[in-house]
Chains A and B, each alone.
Chain A
């Protein structure tokens, strides 16, 4: 049986970890949302896959795939955090 004070400590630790993870993931989010698109005028000179300009492919494909990967990674890391700190199965 855990005492109330210890429980509050556990919650505190959980929330601090969650805040840190949120900041990291929101910073990572700026990569597909902003950073990859910023050099469009520069990337347009590079062609990949026999003729697709890189700036187009960033917006039309790469950034969204990164976004999906970030969400699943977040869900996985949070699931691990739930298990570690809260002892959830």
Chain B
């Protein structure tokens, strides 16, 4: 099955690609070499997508249910890690220190819940989409499917727009093209990946993109770590001294130390309770996101689903365990400028390069000509994007980082687009409009949906780049997606698998109650600036509140199901469906 076997156009392309980029670099034109390098990586994905093209609906929707554990692990990882994970996460840690660590634990340990309670059963269900699963579980009630599809579209669409924005920014930053053009280019490229063979193409493109993005992240990281001298014996264990130096410098400048816990605002709240609950909400939300669940349909069998999630988390961890160290490296680079005369700081090559982009700002607030920490402000993206310059690494490291960031944004984008396409084709067109459609026509309907969705999201991405208010709402929605998933889908899916007694009344009541608790709080605290609830002196932010909504949903669904005769209210085919989930085929 592997596309890397045998005589393969992809291999020839890679050799040609390296020769061409190196050839241009030798002529001394580094900018052109970078541009060719970054664009050339896109062609590799197109070749992979074309090799995997298909006309069979089962391949188009669920990659023929044939993917093995290590490939699905890579695909899970690149589907999961967005442009923001690659470009911004290390920077967010560099800004917030220990208080940002719910990103690290929260966006990884959700996969444990997926492995133990969800992935094997989703695979076993033999359904094609999450909304289909929900409908079958809710006694073939079509409204349940419609609600699930709507939820899938809201979450996936905002996420996709964020990915196209990231694509635009990366292309803009590295190639000097307008970011809006980059966003459209991103959506056009994704059409090529997904239109050729649906999930069968997308999954193998994602596998390719994972290995490219992780290699890029690690090349930049390891070279910077080498220059900073933290191979003692390995960067992930060797940064102790560097961190101690950084923290004593921070304290001498009157700042709180980098790893001092619970001093800053995270997810709109403060304190340890907020920290723990925010992390839990991110974990619970992970397994309620439709584009995460969809990957579990693609595997060969239940056993592969279990191991596949393990590989998925391993591959995710390769980036997530590295980001905190990355953050410390960057913060040390910044701190080395503190206390220097500002004129001298402005002569540093990397400061000179990045000040015009606006990602770094230097303002002499107290007018003493000496740089104080507060006088050097930086955008969180600079940590990954600017790292090669901070440590004086050669030009091609910056190019590799750009290729990796693009791979991260595109891999998430094509997964999201695919989830929406399958939702539009299978859950709307085939379910409600034309159930007797022929297989060949169905795939063409799918491709048409794909093109429409990609163009609409391309325009939304362009709008987000041009209009700061629109962009603010996209960012807010992306953050809230985890709260809404935690409040609505996660408890219902878990109950639905493990408890026959959950019936359609309980399902609806639980989801309504969960969202009824989550939505008002998120809107009032997150958008209208109402002060959050304070619990033992810890402010409960919007993310942390998601856990409350989770339990409200769980309890309401249970009580309402019992009150409406529980299991007896379920028709025999629903009971049969739940029974069929229990035992691997």
A-to-B contact residues, CB < 8 Å: 11, 14-15, 18-19, 22, 25-26, 29, 32-34, 37-38, 40-41, 44, 47-53, 55-56, 59-61, 63-65, 67-68, 70-72, 74-75, 78-79, 82, 86, 88
Contacts and interface: CB of A to CB of B under 8 A. Distances in A.
A15 B313 contact: no
B261 interface: yes
Given A25-B116, A44-B260, A59-B101, 4 more contacts: A41-B261, A44-B259, A51-B239, A71-B112
A68 B313 contact: yes
Contacts of B116: 22, 25-26, 29, 71, 74
B280 interface: yes
A82 B112 CA distance: 20
Contact of A50 (B109, B240, B303, B321): B240
B317 A68 contact: yes
B243 A71 contact: no
Nearest to A69: B310
B272 A40 contact: yes
Contacts of A79: 303, 306
Contacts of A71: 111-112, 115-116, 306, 309-310, 313
B111 A53 contact: no
B111 A67 contact: yes
A42 B301 CA distance: 45
Interface of B: 98, 101, 104-105, 108-109, 111-113, 115-117, 120, 232, 236-244, 259-262, 272, 275-276, 279-280, 283, 303, 306-307, 309-310, 313-314, 317, 320-321, 324-325, 498, 579, 582-584
Given A26-B116, A60-B101, A86-B584, A37 B276 contact: yes
Given A14-B582, A22-B116, A68-B314, A55 B261 contact: yes
A43 to B, nearest CB: 9
Contacts of A74: 115-116, 306
Contact of A64 (B244, B272, B317, B582): B317
Contact of A51 (B108, B244, B310): B244
21 contacts: A11-B582, A29-B109, A33-B105, A40-B275, A41-B272, A44-B261, A47-B240, A50-B232, A52-B237, A52-B240, A53-B259, A56-B101, A61-B324, A63-B105, A64-B320, A64-B321, A65-B321, A70-B112, A71-B309, A71-B310, A88-B584
B306 A78 contact: yes
B287 to A, nearest CB: 12
A73 B117 CA distance: 14
Contacts of B112: 25, 29, 32-33, 67, 70-71
A68 B244 CA distance: 29
B279 to A, nearest CB: 7
Contacts of B321: 60-61, 64-65
A34 B112 CA distance: 13
A51 B328 CA distance: 13
Nearest to A29: B112
Given A29-B112, A38-B276, A47-B240, A75 B104 contact: no
A61 B323 CA distance: 11
B98 A56 contact: yes
Interface centre among B101, B104, B244 (most CB of A within 10 A): B101
A27 B128 CA distance: 31
Given A18-B582, A64-B320, A33 B280 contact: yes
B582 A40 contact: no
A86 B325 CA distance: 46
B104 A60 contact: yes
Contacts of A67: 108-109, 111-112, 313
Contacts of B259: 44, 53, 55-56
B582 A75 contact: no
A33 B281 CA distance: 11
Contacts of A18: 582
A59 B584 contact: no
B105 A26 contact: no
Nearest to B324: A60
Contacts of B275: 37, 40
A19 B306 CA distance: 16
Contact of B239 (A32, A33, A47, A52): A52
